[in-house]
């Protein structure tokens, strides 16, 4: 698109996309706040309760690639509108559910609707704004959308306490109804005369095959896998029970910590977007730094004897919050390694990464909680049981980090072969940049 295209129309499209994604995140995260109420309502074990979150994320992950193809085929507006309708139906089903299977069906519909929104919204950002602005605007899209977690952690939790299960989920369905209206009124697939638009199904599938075969797309998959999953599991299901039932925090403090998680991502996201755009050859270093921060924060909390102090819990949720915008780096890999016409499929494939790790982690935590309860007779949500169960994250994120490093090595080899660009060690690049500043001769990211 032309450099003059971003204007009032582009800003309205961006606002509509942000609102649609914010509402989708709200629907996604209502279960985390309602987890304790769900356990009481359905009288189920931890593993059974985890099925509510697992099936939602499983449906989300399974639909990412088909949704990406549909976005490339039909355009983002139609796909987001269908998603909003699915989330309305899902939350209405959850509101009326008296049994766990009915609630599971509702959450599957929510997961299907949620699956359509972010990838399609990213396509809108790429269509309406110039490439140099996309990394930062993608971060704003993700971060503003994550405010939906605040809506679920505070207003939804308050309504749940006052109006009960049915009233709270009916209100959530109404929010998606408003999102559907906004989508139909504000969203336009691309500027008039723009080259990027819906393509035929055969071309969309061909673009998907090309995207998956691209080393950079797979690098984005693993970047998303290792940065996003821990925060999603915490916000969507196990964080609230851990803070309330295991650590013993009042519900208001637990909700406040979930809000801090969102605000941390909100504040750090634009910086990550700026760094991603300015230093594209160093995106992997940002990913690894975020993973290291997550590992340190979890180790401090889980290794602390007894109940961890509030300062460590704040440190943990801040690290988890940074992981959210950190996962957007995966989509920037998809953007820079793929043609615009196939970006939907590429972004969908990247998005599979984090949610595959998330539903795997979510389910295993529930299984481990149940196993300890059955073998020792300890309370189901005891602090000791939670510490053991949450440790499964080390294996999943650790395995993903190894895959990320191996894929990065191959991607850098391809970059050297195809473009003659060698990415040197970070310390050498820092030294080179420092010397360039002193001499005023410019700098390079290669040795």
Which pLDDT value is given to residue 209? 81
Q: Which domains does the chain have, with CATH numbers?
A: 8-188+199-439 (1.20.1250.20)
Q: What is the mean pLDDT of the chain?
A: 85
Residues 433-440: what's their mean pLDDT? 62
Residue 236: alpha-carbon gap to chain centroid: 11
Residue 273: alpha-carbon gap to chain centroid: 15
Which pLDDT value is given to residue 5? 46
Residues 85-89: what's their mean pLDDT? 97
- 321, 153 contact by CB (below 8 A): no
For 94-130, the pLDDT digits (tens) are 999 999 899 999 999 999 999 999 889 988 998 898 8
Which pLDDT value is given to residue 74? 87
- 223, 333 contact by CB (below 8 A): yes
**In the predicted structure, residue 309 carries a pLDDT above the cut 50:** yes
d(CA 162, CA 164): 6
Kindly state the tokens that stand for 170: 């009916």
Burial (0-12, 13-18, 19+ Cβ within 10 Å), 5: middle
Residues 150-175: what's their mean pLDDT? 88
Residue 443 — pLDDT band, cuts 50, 70, 90?
Answer: very low
CA distances from residue 216 to 121, 349, 438 in whole angstroms, order as listed: 21, 12, 34
Kindly state the tokens that stand for 258: 């979930």
Nearest to 280 by CA among 346, 219, 364: 219
Residues 199-206: what's their mean pLDDT? 70
- 239, 368 contact by CB (below 8 A): no
Which pLDDT value is given to residue 425? 63
Residue 279 — pLDDT band, cuts 50, 70, 90?
Answer: confident
DSSP structure string for 107-167:
HHHHHHHHHTHHHHHHHHHHHHS-GGGHHHHHHHHHHHHTHHHHHIIIIIHHHHHHHHHHH
d(CA 274, CA 276): 5
**In the predicted structure, residue 32 carries a pLDDT above the cut 80:** no
**In the predicted structure, residue 446 carries a pLDDT above the cut 60:** no
Q: What share of the chain is helix, strand, coil (3-state, %, to 5)?
A: 85, 0, 15
Residues 292-317: what's their mean pLDDT? 96
Residue 292 — pLDDT band, cuts 50, 70, 90?
Answer: very high
DSSP structure string for 225-285:
HHHHHHHHHIIIIIHHHIIIIIS---HHHHHHHHHHHHHHHHHHHHHHHHHHHH-GGGHHH
Which pLDDT value is given to residue 147? 84
Kindly state the tokens that stand for 359: 């539903």
Residues 16-44: what's their mean pLDDT? 88
Higher-scoring residue by pLDDT: 257, 280: 257
Which residues does 326 contact at the CB level (< 8 Å), separation at least 6?
Answer: 227, 228, 272, 286, 287, 290
Residues 317-337: what's their mean pLDDT? 90
**In the predicted structure, residue 382 carries a pLDDT above the cut 80:** yes
Which pLDDT value is given to residue 442? 46
Question: Phi/psi at 241 (nearest 5 deg)?
Answer: -60, -35
Which pLDDT value is given to residue 96? 94
For 175-195, the pLDDT digits (tens) are 999 999 999 999 998 887 555
For 356-377, the pLDDT digits (tens) are 898 899 889 988 988 887 666 6
**In the predicted structure, residue 202 carries a pLDDT above the cut 70:** yes
pTM more than 0.85? no
Residue 227 — pLDDT band, cuts 50, 70, 90?
Answer: very high
d(CA 113, CA 217): 24
- 125, 141 contact by CB (below 8 A): yes
**In the predicted structure, residue 444 carries a pLDDT above the cut 50:** no
**In the predicted structure, residue 196 carries a pLDDT above the cut 60:** no
Higher-scoring residue by pLDDT: 7, 392: 392
Residue 3 — pLDDT band, cuts 50, 70, 90?
Answer: very low
d(CA 310, CA 194): 52
Residue 261: alpha-carbon gap to chain centroid: 13
């Amino acid at each position: 698109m032309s450099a003059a295209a971003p204007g009032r129309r582009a800003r309205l499209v961006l606002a509509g996309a942000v609102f649609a994604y914010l509402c989708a995140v709200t629907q996604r995260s209502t279960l985390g706040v309602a987890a304790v109420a769900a356990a009481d309502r359905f009288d189920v074990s931890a593993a059974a309760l985890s099925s509510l979150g697992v099936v939602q994320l499983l449906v989300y992950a399974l639909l990412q690639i088909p949704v990406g193809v549909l976005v490339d085929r039909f355009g983002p507006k139609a796909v987001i509108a269908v998603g909003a309708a699915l989330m309305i139906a899902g939350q209405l089903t959850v509101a009326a559910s008296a049994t766990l299977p009915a609630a599971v069906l509702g959450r599957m519909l929510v997961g299907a609707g949620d699956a359509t929104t972010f990838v399609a919204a990213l396509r809108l950002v790429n269509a309406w704004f110039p490439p140099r602005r996309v990394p930062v605007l993608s971060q704003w899209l993700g971060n503003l959308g994550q405010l939906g977690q605040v809506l679920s952690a505070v207003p939804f939790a308050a309504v749940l306490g006052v109006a009960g299960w049915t009233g709270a989920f009916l209100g959530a369905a109404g929010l998606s109804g408003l999102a559907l209206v906004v989508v139909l009124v504000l969203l336009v697939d691309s500027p008039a005369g723009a080259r990027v638009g819906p393509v035929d199904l055969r071309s969309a599938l061909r673009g998907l095959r090309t995207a998956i075969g691209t080393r950079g797309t797979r690098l984005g998959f693993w970047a998303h896998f290792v940065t996003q999953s821990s925060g999603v599991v915490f916000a969507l299901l196990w964080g609230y029970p851990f803070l309330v039932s295991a650590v013993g925090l009042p519900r208001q403090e637990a909700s406040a910590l979930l809000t801090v998680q969102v605000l941390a991502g909100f504040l750090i996201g634009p910086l990550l977007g700026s760094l991603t755009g300015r230093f594209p050859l160093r995106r992997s270093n940002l990913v690894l730094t975020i993973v290291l921060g997550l590992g340190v924060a979890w180790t401090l909390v889980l290794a602390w004897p007894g109940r961890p102090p509030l300062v460590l819990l704040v440190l943990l949720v801040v690290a988890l919050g940074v992981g959210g915008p950190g996962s957007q780096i995966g989509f920037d890999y998809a953007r820079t390694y793929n043609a615009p016409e196939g970006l939907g499929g590429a972004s969908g494939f990247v998005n599979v990464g984090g949610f595959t790790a998330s539903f795997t982690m979510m389910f295993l935590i529930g299984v481990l909680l149940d196993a300890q309860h059955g073998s020792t007779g300890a309370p189901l949500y005891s602090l000791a049981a939670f510490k053991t169960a949450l440790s499964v994250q080390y294996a999943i994120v650790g395995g993903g980090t190894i895959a990320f490093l191996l894929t990065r090595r191959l991607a850098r080899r391809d970059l050297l072969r195809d473009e003659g660009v060698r990415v040197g060690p970070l310390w050498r690049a820092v030294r080179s940049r420092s010397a360039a500043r002193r001499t005023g001769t410019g700098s390079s990211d290669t040795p």
